């Protein structure tokens, strides 16, 4: 039996295997509500044989969306519409499903990626972004509004309310988005946070608001719900957030009852220089796991089953996540199990598609 296909415990839940489907924005919602596209998208990923599925970045308030087509969970109506989608998915699959709660901060109000992804200003149908400091992502963009104390309180409550809605939806848990240059990452990095109050300056101060969100969400969720967090381990820019800061942050979120950390990188600055290679972010996950003991998910160009197996066998991470690779090959876990000589779950309706040379691949 491979380690990749062995069970793993995350907080209150035990997953059947260590393959996680990472959150992937679909830019296909209508006023924050899921559409037929989401039912299809989540449905076919839910029967992939992975250990868990994390729903895409879901905004906790309207102005926290990356685009106007982002999924949202800021009202009871959004809870109800997502419930309808989940009901359809759950009728066909038993995979544990989490949701990633997010706020885009200064990277809000953009066009869809296939439309260029540029910022849309308020006079062209967009809205005014908010951030720790009035520093735009790109120099030519409109500077975001620097959040005041009332704004911080509002966003904290939005995360809490969304977490309670996730609980009401009977989701397995919540992942807080603190990566890829979005709001909470913006607070962490000295490149985007130049505040002179208790939320800016020193590392401890810059961690203050993200930790406040983690603490509030943990309090809002029952202990039978998983709480995870996704971070960017480094900005890939000199003078920015780095792995040493990430280790310090991981220690603090562990104290607050976080069950895992999902280790990505980059996204905060257009000046980033990322040395892309298969598994290039796994060393960050390994260091955080080694120095904090917090369960980790490694992610980033992990598409070879042998590489995924090596990452978990050698202790670089407890789990591996796939995003674009899973879009390209929604049955990746089946193919990984075949390559590693293991077994994987498949729907009864698909059992007869088991290849003749791989009898025993599907559990029965």
- Ordered by start, the domain boundaries in the chain are 8-358
- Rounded-to-integer distance, Cα 59 and Cα 127, Å: 15
Position 19 scores a pLDDT of 98
CATH topology of domain 8-358: TIM Barrel (3.20.20)
- Rounded-to-integer distance, Cα 130 and Cα 104, Å: 9
Q: What is the pLDDT of residues 138-148, one digit of tens each?
A: 999 999 999 99
What mean pLDDT is reported for the chain?
A: 97
Q: What is the pLDDT of residues 81-98, one digit of tens each?
A: 999 999 999 999 999 999
**CA-based Rg of the chain, rounded to a whole angstrom?**
20
Q: What is the pLDDT of residues 98-109, one digit of tens each?
A: 999 999 999 999
Beta carbons within 10 angstroms of residue 347's beta carbon:
13
- Rounded-to-integer distance, Cα 186 and Cα 107, Å: 10
Q: At what angle do helices 149-168 and 203-220 cross, to 10 degrees?
A: 30
Residue 174: closest CA among 20, 284, 54, 257 = 54
27, 137, 182, 260: the active-site residue? 182
Q: What is the pLDDT of residues 11-67, one digit of tens each?
A: 999 999 999 999 999 999 999 999 999 999 999 999 999 999 999 999 999 999 999
The per-residue b/e assignment along 275-310, b for 16 or more CB within 10 angstroms, e otherwise, is eeeebebbebbbbbbeebebbbbbbbbbbebeebbb
Q: What pTM was computed for the model?
A: 0.96
Q: What is the pLDDT of residues 310-320, one digit of tens each?
A: 999 999 999 99
Is 182 part of the annotated catalytic residue set?
A: yes
């Amino acid at each position: 039996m491979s380690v990749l296909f062995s069970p793993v415990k995350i907080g209150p839940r035990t997953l059947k295997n260590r393959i996680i489907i990472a959150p992937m924005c679909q830019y296909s919602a209508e006023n924050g509500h899921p559409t037929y596209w989401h039912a299809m998208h989540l449905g076919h990923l839910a029967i992939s044989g992975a250990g868990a599925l994390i729903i895409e970045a879901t905004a906790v308030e309207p102005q926290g969306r990356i685009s106007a087509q982002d999924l949202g969970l800021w009202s009871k109506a959004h809870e109800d519409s997502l419930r309808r989608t989940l009901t359809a998915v759950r009728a066909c699959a038993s995979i544990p499903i989490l949701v990633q709660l997010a706020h885009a901060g200064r990277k809000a109000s953009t066009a869809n990626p296939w439309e260029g992804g540029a910022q849309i200003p308020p006079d062209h149908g967009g809205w005014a972004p908010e951030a720790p400091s009035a520093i735009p992502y790109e120099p030519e963009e409109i500077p975001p509004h620097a959040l005041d104390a009332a704004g911080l309180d509002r966003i904290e409550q939005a995360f809490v309310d969304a977490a309670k809605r996730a609980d009401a939806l009977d989701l397995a848990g919540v992942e807080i988005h603190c990566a890829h240059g979005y709001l909470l990452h913006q607070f962490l990095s000295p490149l985007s946070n130049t505040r002179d109050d208790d939320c800016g300056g020193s590392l401890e101060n810059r961690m203050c608001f993200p930790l406040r969100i983690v603490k509030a969400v943990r309090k809002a969720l029952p202990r039978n719900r998983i709480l995870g967090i996704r971070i960017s381990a480094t900005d890939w820019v000199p003078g920015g957030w780095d792995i040493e800061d990430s280790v310090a942050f991981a220690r603090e979120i562990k104290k607050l009852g976080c069950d895992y950390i999902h280790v990505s990188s980059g996204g905060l600055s257009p000046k980033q220089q990322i040395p892309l290679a298969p598994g290039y972010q796994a060393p960050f996950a390994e260091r955080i796991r080694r120095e904090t003991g917090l369960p980790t998910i490694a992610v980033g160009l992990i598409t070879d089953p042998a590489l995924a197996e090596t990452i978990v066998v050698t202790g670089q991470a407890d789990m591996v996540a796939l995003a674009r690779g899973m879009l390209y090959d929604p049955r990746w876990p089946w193919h990984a199990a075949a390559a590693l000589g293991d077994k994987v779950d498949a729907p009864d309706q698909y059992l007869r598609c088991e290849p003749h040379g791989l009898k025993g691949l599907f559990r029965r």
